[in-house]
Amino acid sequence: MEMQFYGAAGGVTGSCHYLRVGDKQLLIDCGLFQGGHDLEEENHGEFGFDAKEIDYLLLTHAHLDHCGRIPLLVKRGFRGEIITTSATRELARLVMVDSAGLAEEEARRASRRHQRHGETESAPLYDIADVLNTMERFGRTAEYGQKLEVCSGVSATFGDAGHILGSAWILIEASEAGKQQRIVYSGDLGNRGKPIINPSTPAPEADAIVMETTYGDRLHKAIGPSVEELRDAILDTLKQGGNVIIPTFALERAQDLLYYLREMMSDNQIPATLPVFLDSPMAISATEIFRRHPECFNPDTRENLLQGMDPFALRNLLFTRETSESMGINLIKGGALIMAGSGMATGGRVVHHLRHNIWREESSVIFVGYAAQGTLARRIIDGAKTVRIFGEEIRVAARIYTIGGFSAHADHDELLAWFGNQKPARTVLVHGEDNGREGIAKVLRARGLQVDCPVIGDHYTL
């Protein structure tokens, strides 16, 4: 058996892990690289393997950095089966359609530029038709805790990763030449105490563990103080007469924030009349998908939903699907809370809202999730005095908040709690920048464990 790593190896995007068992070739995830032009150019390059030779793809969850290159995989010849949970299948379709639309739009803009210079037109990485073809490759549905025979000699058990709706870690039990190996791929693990979905279940005993380390070097702020900080930031901004801009990931983060805003309004902590704009077609659709999957909810939230208490219903919540509606928000000079994607401000409608608000001292920008190196969000968080948006250098005068307690990722202690006290023969740390991986590696090495931190292209024999 052989493991290879073709993404999220030395970084936090582009998750793509290869596993060969005998004559069968499997992928765990096939995500998009994000965070700056140079990194995103890798999406157009070779995978490092032949897409036509891959037999199965096991998808841990629907975030773009885990599913975003699957349509490209199909476009380049993948004809195998994709296996994932029911909720992930729905969310992945939504995410990939959105990604294709953005790719087509960017290709059109680039083509217009190239035509003006007599250059070759640009083609999108993939288009909507490629996504529709991809959906035909989705086969069997995995259920948490139930072993599924992938093929002869290979089985997979999906466990709840507690990260986003439908997310999973995957235990692969594989036999080759009479020897059996148990390999666990963590996918992305969730931050405990989330209001809607269940927490992750612990890693099962394994011979090898491939684990994410996004926040491996730090601890999150507790959720209680984080909610209070969010409340205070909103109230202070309203007092100053500005707008609150929250760059929001469409999956999970948007729904968690709606939940907490509803709770704060119910408790009269913030005005129930506060206009809240969910300015993200994907987040709006994702919220509808959430309502269809109460089986993923924790017991309290599931019971509330069954009793008719919608966790996402706010008195003055406004969904803005159309571009014209989004543009209209920019006419509001104060007193509004605007949630829009993308969460790292790499594109999407939030960039327009930042352009209209980040220079205003009375407004605020609240970051509630991870920002990768090279992203606009990261530059703002790191204290940039000016930022370039749509070719214009804009002064950063709004108050900037970074509230870590809302993260969808497990922190240092939660990662180690998921790992437990087991002693696998090999532990491979992925999906983390150097500091994140080292934060976990030094603890596990102190236990006498073999720990590897691969870069793209590295491979190991089990």
Separation of alpha carbons 365 and 299, rounded Å: 33
CB of 11 within 8 A of CB of 41? no
**DSSP class of 344:** T
Query: What is the helix (H) or strand (E) element at residue 2, kind and residue range?
Result: strand 2-5
Average pLDDT for the chain: 94
Model confidence at 108: pLDDT above 90: no
Give the per-residue pLDDT at 36.
Answer: 67
Mean pLDDT of 140-145: 98
Distance (Å) of CA 146 to CA 141, 163, 168, 169: 11, 19, 12, 13
Structure tokens at 278: 């969910």
Q: Cite the beta strand spans of 114-265 per DSSP E.
A: 138-142, 147-151, 154-160, 168-176, 179-185, 208-212, 244-247
Give the per-residue pLDDT at 461.
Answer: 94
Mean pLDDT of 252-272: 94
Give the per-residue pLDDT at 105.
Answer: 81
Give the per-residue pLDDT at 192.
Answer: 86
Q: Out of 133-137, 267-271, 308-312, 380-384, pick the least confident.
A: 308-312
pLDDT in tens, 22-74: 999 999 999 999 876 677 788 999 999 999 999 999 999 999 999 999 999 99
Three-class HEC string of 241-259: CCCEEEECCCCCHHHHHHH
- Bridge partners, residue 297, by sequence: 197
Q: Out of 3-12, 31-40, 114-123, 271-280, pick the least confident.
A: 114-123
CB of 276 within 8 A of CB of 317? yes
Show the DSSP H helices in 162-222 as ranges.
Answer: none
Q: What percent of the chain has pLDDT over 90?
A: 81
Model confidence at 387: pLDDT above 80: yes
Separation of alpha carbons 432 and 438, rounded Å: 9
CA 156, 157, 161, 167 torsion: positive or negative? positive
Burial class (CB in 10 A: 0-12, 13-18, 19+), 446: exposed
Structure tokens at 460: 């190991």
Structure tokens at 210: 């491939």
pLDDT in tens, 264-309: 999 999 999 999 999 999 999 999 999 899 889 999 998 888 888 8
CA trace torsion 111, 280, 40, 170 (10° rounding): -140
Burial class (CB in 10 A: 0-12, 13-18, 19+), 148: middle
pLDDT in tens, 415-436: 999 999 999 999 999 999 999 9
Give the per-residue pLDDT at 37.
Answer: 66
Give the per-residue pLDDT at 389.
Answer: 95
Q: Of 208, 194, 207, whose CA–CA distance to 161 is shortest?
A: 194
Separation of alpha carbons 172 and 182, rounded Å: 6
Q: Out of 343-352, 379-388, 392-401, pick the least confident.
A: 343-352
Model confidence at 107: pLDDT above 90: no
